[in-house]
Chain A
């Protein structure tokens, strides 16, 4: 890849009347500018759309550390358990690992979609469990708000008292393969 094909922040890419500004670009005073270092990419507009301007974007090849955003599915590790919420440390955002620690909180009302009033945090999670959750908001200054209310969200990996990785047997139970002990969890339905 030649160095001349890269774009740097502040470079003019074209007129805003001719291109739709995609990721890695922004519009300022009727022009489209690059906002990251990366390669230029043009995507023609779909034929059925009225706006026929191609989309212009600058894609970065060296991936940046992932940052949780509302709406994304994250992988987190439960760190602390409280009567009304569980604290988790976010380790992945989608398929990408997080470089620095981000704190998330799963509140009691966000554990499952049904029987919200009867949720018991201690029968849903344990410290050390790996969970899949969805970021529902930026939360407060301390933590992001996570939710496991969907069927595909919840505990995906847990360790039993005997130290073995447990096997999910239903949506609310996991079983130890060594001792046969069953433990309650909010289990994710992994596809």
Chain B
């Protein structure tokens, strides 16, 4: 059974079911300015994973919150009910809250909270289709949305995940690969300064395999960061031509 499941993910020539090499990421489509009423927004597709993020603010904090000399970053992640193969129920469940906490941790080191004292920046992420690697797609898209909103940031954050299946390390896994993985690692990286803002390991990892996985993820994040910068520049130039 184990051999069958392993063979089902890799073909005889070493490529994956979608003809990718184990170290290749899925094709990405990134676009800012997807939501007109938001201060900043972005839409991202990674293979069959589709995410849209809106940023509102800086705006007034709610009265229940205490005074803060620095700004506040609120993150909220939701899945649409049609996002997963099994129909999800409305509202936030446990994994949505966990994703919100992880998104906040990944972004708060990159955002300069001192640039908007006493106010709040709200980040709303909506997963339209869950096709594997959801959290990295959310973080990448949220970073683009914050930059689109003009929030002062130290760096943009690129995120990627990797699945361990037997002896193979599969970068940017699909839903099917994620469901058969032995372990996984997800990393969020400030690409220019090469600082990690978030890393999470699940499953069993040896130290050599873990460091090899981290190297793979960091390299992929740096390349993804370059794609993100090109997207931001082109959308900024396009917005200038419109006005």
Contact = CB atoms under 8 A, between A and B. Distances in A.
Contact of B156 (A6, A9, A63, A67): A9
Contacts of B150: 36-37, 60, 62-64
B176 to A, nearest CB: 34
Contacts of A35: 112, 152-154
Instruction: Place the interface of chain A in its size category.
Output: 35 or more
Nearest to A63: B150
B39 A141 contact: no
A138 B117 contact: yes
B164 to A, nearest CB: 30
Interface in A1-50: 1-6, 8-12, 24, 26, 28, 33, 35-38
B155 A9 contact: yes
A37 B148 CA distance: 7
A33 B154 contact: yes
B151 to A, nearest CB: 8
10 contacts: A8-B232, A9-B110, A9-B156, A10-B155, A11-B192, A33-B193, A37-B147, A63-B150, A65-B58, A65-B59
A147 to B, nearest CB: 17
Interface centre among B110, B192, B225 (most CB of A within 10 A): B192
B193 A28 contact: yes
Contact of B241 (A1, A9, A62): A1
B154 A26 contact: yes
Interface string B40-65: 00000000000000001111110101
Given A35-B153, A37-B232, A12 B39 contact: no
B233 A6 contact: yes
Interface string A74-104: 0000000000000000000000000111110
B57 A33 contact: no
B154 A67 contact: no
A143 B159 CA distance: 37
Contacts of B223: none
A100 B60 contact: yes
B239 A62 contact: yes
Nearest to A99: B39
Interface string B131-161: 0000000000000000111111111100000
B193 to A, nearest CB: 6
Given A26-B154, A102-B60, A141-B65, A61 B240 contact: yes
A62 B236 contact: yes
B118 interface: yes
Interface string B59-76: 111010111110000000
B234 interface: yes
A3 B233 contact: yes
A47 B133 CA distance: 55
A117 interface: no
Interface string B101-130: 000000000101000111100000000000
A41 to B, nearest CB: 14
A140 interface: yes
A118 interface: no
B237 interface: yes
A113 B142 CA distance: 47
